[in-house]
Chains A and B, each alone.
Chain A
Amino acid sequence: MITFENVSKRYLTKHALSDVNVTIPEGKIIGLVGSNGSGKSTFMKMIAGLVGPSEGKVMIDQEPVSRRTANKVAYLSELDAYYSFFSVKETIDFFASQFQDFDVEKANDIVDFMEVDSSQKVKHLSKGNRGRLKIALTLAREVPVILMDEPLSGLDPMVRDSIVKGLLSFIDLEKQTVIITTHEVTEIEPLLETVIAIRNGKVLALEDVETIRERDRMRIVDWLKKMYQEEA
Chain B
Amino acid sequence: MMNWSGLLRKEFRVTRTLLLGVLTFDLLVMIGFFLASERWEFPYLTAIIGGVLTAIHVFFLPLYLLISLNTEGRNLHLWLHNPQSGARLLGAKFLNGLLAILISIGLVSSLSLLAYNIETSALELPIDNVWLFGFYFLAVIVTGSIYMGIWLIFYWTFYQVLKTYIGKWALLLVLVLVAFISWLGSWFSGTRLSEVLVEWGYVQLPSPLNMEVSQQEFGLTVSTFPFPVGNVVFDIITLVVIFLIACWLLDRKVEV
Residue of A nearest to B253 (CB): A52
Residue of A nearest to B85 (CB): A68
Contacts of A48 in B (CB 8 A): 81
Contacts of A11 in B (CB 8 A): 164-165
Which chain A residues in 69-87 approach chain B with CB under 8 Å? Answer: 69-71, 75, 77, 79-83, 85-86
How far in angstroms is the closest Cβ of chain B from A111? 18
How far in angstroms is the closest Cβ of chain A from B210? 50
Contact of B77 among A52, A66, A75 (CB under 8 A): A75
Q: Interface stretch among B2-10, B97-105, B220-228?
A: B2-10
Which chain B residues in 56-86 approach chain A with CB under 8 Å? Answer: 75-78, 80-86
A interface, size bucket: 20 to 34
B interface, size bucket: 20 to 34
Which chain B residues in 1-29 approach chain A with CB under 8 Å? Answer: 2-3, 5-7, 9-10, 13-14, 16-17
A97 at the B interface (CB under 8 A): yes
How far in angstroms is the closest Cβ of chain A from B14? 7
CA A100 – CA B13 in complex, angstroms?
Answer: 22
**Pair B165/A12 contact, Cβ less than 8 Å:** yes
A22 at the B interface (CB under 8 A): no
Residue of A nearest to B167 (CB): A12
Contacts of A82 in B (CB 8 A): 78
Q: Which of B6, B166, B253 has the most CB of A within 10 A?
A: B6
A98 at the B interface (CB under 8 A): yes
How far in angstroms is the closest Cβ of chain B from A17? 13
Which chain A residues in 113-143 approach chain B with CB under 8 Å? Answer: none
Per-residue interface assignment for chain A, residues 90 to 116, with 1 indicating a CB less than 8 Å from any chain B CB and 0 otherwise: 000110111110000000000000000
Q: A45-B256, A68-B251, A98-B3 are in contact. Are A85 and B83 (CB under 8 A)?
A: no
Question: Top 5 A-B pairs ranked by shortest CB distance?
Answer: A97-B6, A71-B83, A70-B83, A50-B256, A77-B77
Which residues of B are interface residues toward A (Cβ below 8 A)?
2-3, 5-7, 9-10, 13-14, 16-17, 75-78, 80-86, 164-167, 250-253, 255-256
Give 15 CB contacts A-B under 8 Å. Answer: A11-B164, A52-B255, A67-B80, A68-B251, A75-B77, A77-B78, A79-B75, A83-B14, A93-B6, A97-B6, A98-B3, A98-B6, A98-B7, A98-B83, A99-B83
